[in-house]
Structure 1
């Protein structure tokens, strides 16, 4: 995955690990269910694009077995380097600037990649190019515009503060060139780029410990930028983080759109 220069979510290792863990808890079950529905099995060739986390690659490797192959790529592979043993191959790769790391894949999957690369259409075309005829592409992106509140049930001052900060986060990301509404366009893009049998679905987790963990790490990571842009004060952020720690708010993650299709 290639991140835009000065990407807001560049963080330290411990914070990144907490974010990866929360994302895996919230969204892996949905992703794995889709891939299972594709019929993944022994001998499949898979390309995991932007393999920043460690959760999906081992699962794919177990599914494809010793006769299959899982190519895991990212511009920073430090998170998955220890997984590099057959059938897993780890490569440093820029999906938006380089040719695919192979061809005739049965499955290509990318989560939270397209909205963060400088040329998402080129990246998408690269993924499709890498598929064999009949191969499946699964791409997943959040869409803040589909549900812009972190507390849909805005029942008190704690929830109101949370929603003000979420709106500020959306403005901040959009102002830095990050597409916060990319998810809704995925089905159309897959059709326009030639895939068939395109479908999509949206997952909207709410009121779980992982939602709270993801909200805490995201706000902490964006603290300085939110304050500098005038969207929040130090005191407001500290109060919001304390409110999360109490555990009485029903927090929601940003909706994740999954779209998939088959190469003719």
Structure 2
């Protein structure tokens, strides 16, 4: 899913999935998310010692960047299984006996885990959107080998709710009001806007060892501008239908974003990792 504010839930409104991978803006968003968050993600992956011959499960892969980065690390003797409810943006490597990346359509909270065990199970910006987060977490832990690592990375919009933390003028105030509308749409569809901060506790309560966490908070990156424009276009009709913004306000905001002079931020992404005993 890999959505900044994914996909492990069903891609329809009844199941709470706001940002549909089938829309053309999804590819733009995945590129911006990769630019923003891949350096932080792979800093953690490398710290955990993921290397040649290991097996990894990438949950809610969304775009291709994380599966491909994992494949580079595990090499031809390893394997990366990338799953999502919509795999249209996830690419595979060459087919055949030397294939490193295997892509599967999969719902992490409803389907059995892919055949394991795994040295690493990773999900980024996924579980915050999954209605049955506890079951999804249980299945991910179940798929780890003893000593294997779980790395969960999720946004916490409640910790820092503003698109423009420096609310210095009317453009910034409009941006923050539209971001508030986006958060309301997410909450209506079951997203837990304070989920990221709970990850260390949840990993300890699940019986995992060596629990650690940190947070990453991009501000004023060009990729934040790309991400915001694509996201607003993707949810525009829903903002208007819900009475959270008018078409005129959205056009004004997109014009402000296009200038590149707004210092845009994302919600903090909290990364937590732990080892199965």
TM-score normalised to structure 2 length:
0.91
Alpha-carbon distance in structure 2 between the residues aligned to 1:8 and 1:72: 21
Instruction: Give 3-state SS (helix, strand or coil) of 1:144's partner.
Output: coil
Residue range with higher mean Cα deviation, 162-171 or 127-136: 162-171
Residue range with higher mean Cα deviation, 91-100 or 78-87: 78-87
Alpha-carbon distance in structure 2 between the residues aligned to 1:141 and 1:121: 14
More helix by share: 1
Task: Count the aligned residue pairs.
Answer: 264
Q: Structure 1: 5+ residue runs without aligned partners?
A: none
1:156 and 2:169 aligned: yes
1:8 and 2:18 aligned: yes
Q: Which residue of 2 aligns with 1:48?
A: 58
Query: How much has 1:119 moved relative to structure 2?
Result: 1.1
Instruction: Give 3-state SS (helix, strand or coil) of 1:200's partner.
Output: strand
1:72 and 2:78 aligned: no
Instruction: Give 3-state SS (helix, strand or coil) of 1:27's partner.
Output: helix
Alpha-carbon distance in structure 2 between the residues aligned to 1:98 and 1:188: 25
Query: Given that residues 212 and 251 in structure 1 are in contact (C-alpha distance below 8 angstroms), is that contact kept between their aligned partners in structure 2?
Result: yes
- Sort the Cα spacing of 1:126 and 1:84 in 2 relative to 1 into closer, same or farther, 3 A: farther
Instruction: Give 3-state SS (helix, strand or coil) of 1:258's partner.
Output: strand
Query: Given that residues 2 and 118 in structure 1 are in contact (C-alpha distance below 8 angstroms), is that contact kept between their aligned partners in structure 2?
Result: no
Instruction: Give 3-state SS (helix, strand or coil) of 2:254's partner.
Output: helix
Q: How does 1:89-128 map to 2 (within 5 A)?
A: 89-128=102-141
Instruction: Give 3-state SS (helix, strand or coil) of 1:83's partner.
Output: coil
Alpha-carbon distance in structure 2 between the residues aligned to 1:245 and 1:54: 26
Q: Deviations over 1:213-249 (max 9, x none)?
A: 1111111111111112221111111000000111111
Q: Which residue of 1 aligns with 2:178?
A: 165
Q: Deviations over 1:156-209 (max 9, x none)?
A: 111111111111211221122222221111111111111111111111001011
Query: Given that residues 82 and 102 in structure 2 are in contact (C-alpha distance below 8 angstroms), is that contact kept between their aligned partners in structure 1?
Result: yes
Instruction: Give 3-state SS (helix, strand or coil) of 2:158's partner.
Output: helix
Alpha-carbon distance in structure 1 between the residues aligned to 2:93 and 2:252: 40
Alpha-carbon distance in structure 1 between the residues aligned to 2:21 and 2:215: 27
**RMSD value over aligned CA atoms?**
1.4
1:19 to 29, 33, 46: 29
Query: Given that residues 23 and 234 in structure 2 are in contact (C-alpha distance below 8 angstroms), is that contact kept between their aligned partners in structure 1?
Result: no
